Amino acid sequence: MPNPFFKNHGPLKLSIILNSLNININDLKKDSEINDIKDLLSSTENDITFFHSKKYKDVAKKTKASFCITTNILKNELPQNCLALVVDNVLVSTAKITSLFYPDSRNDNFDETVSSINHTNYKDKVSFGKNVLIGKNVSIGKNCKIGHNTIIEKNVIIGDNCSIGSNNIIRNTLMKNNIRVLDNCVIGKHGFGFFPIKNNNLRYPHIGVVLIEDNCEIGCGATIDRGSMSNTIIGKNTYLDNQIHIAHNVKIGENSIIAGQVGIAGSSIIGNNVKIGGQAGISGHLSIGNNVEIGGGSGVIRNIPDNTKVMGYPAKNIREFLRDNK
């Protein structure tokens, strides 16, 4: 499905990509075109992708992309159909190329298209409070309610039987049915992606969306960042308590319960039927299995297999934790 929030300015000539990366490969047809930039998993023929960590070597071996921004050490993990474009800093180079395809993706300015819901087709279809603003091309399903001072920005899709509380900002988001968003939430802003550069840090573009599946609840003060390259996903029947932060590219499975003030760093994957206690922190790029329970205040810095209970910092098997803290 085409990105509903960011316009792809491709296809781009390969020569433009190579010049931006300061790469010269004589044998290539530099007038050939590249359609899009995507992650390793979703890219297809005539796309460009990136591969920056050996953690993703199994996915890299299966990519269908025609070109991949990577390092000299990692390039041999790529399949024959994918040509390595070797650079010194993969993520900085990927940010440059993403900005060529999606020049608006680094900005996160307010939506100038919003207007009072009283001036839209939804004034007689939705129950709403005071000062509700709606952007262009917003879709809102049947039997929905929107609280005071809430802003729903352009192209957002909200399904049936959804309740959106007061003082919320929702952008770059696709919400399915039977979802409750309580008050003071910000959903779909860009993630905290920077590259430290002296006097002028480089912001990483975020072209993904937030996808919230059926029957979810988002507690007061929650912040959910949109994905950078892939999407941030909240699975079916998952409940988030108050003041939770979900970073870019995080994927939470079905039937999970996450207590207040939990923070999940970027690109971590949470399985199904997971319970996370209050104020726990989960580092980025981790995999948390199905049926895992994480005790309150824990710090998770390693992958956790299915059917495991952990607690402490660093988080360890709960039996080991209790033995060490008698």
Tell me how far apart the alpha carbons of residues 170 and 224 are, in angstroms, rounded to a whole number.
10
Q: Give the three-state DSSP class for 221.
A: coil
Annotated catalytic residue: which of 9, 52, 248, 285?
A: 248
Tell me how far apart the alpha carbons of residues 164 and 170 are, in angstroms, rounded to a whole number.
10
In which residue are the tokens 């710090």 written?
A: 299
Tell me how far apart the alpha carbons of residues 250 and 226 are, in angstroms, rounded to a whole number.
9
H-assigned helices in 35-180: 57-60, 90-101
| Cis amide leading into 2 (omega within 30) | no
Question: Which residues in 230-322 belong to E strands, given as ranges?
Answer: 232-234, 239-240, 245-246, 251-252, 257-258, 263-264, 269-270, 275-276, 281-282, 287-288, 293-294, 299-300, 309-311, 316-317
Tell me how far apart the alpha carbons of residues 83 and 81 are, in angstroms, rounded to a whole number.
7
- Asked about 9 being catalytic, the answer comes back as no
Question: Among 301, 289, 266, 264, which Cα is nearest to 279's?
Answer: 264
Catalytic residues: 248
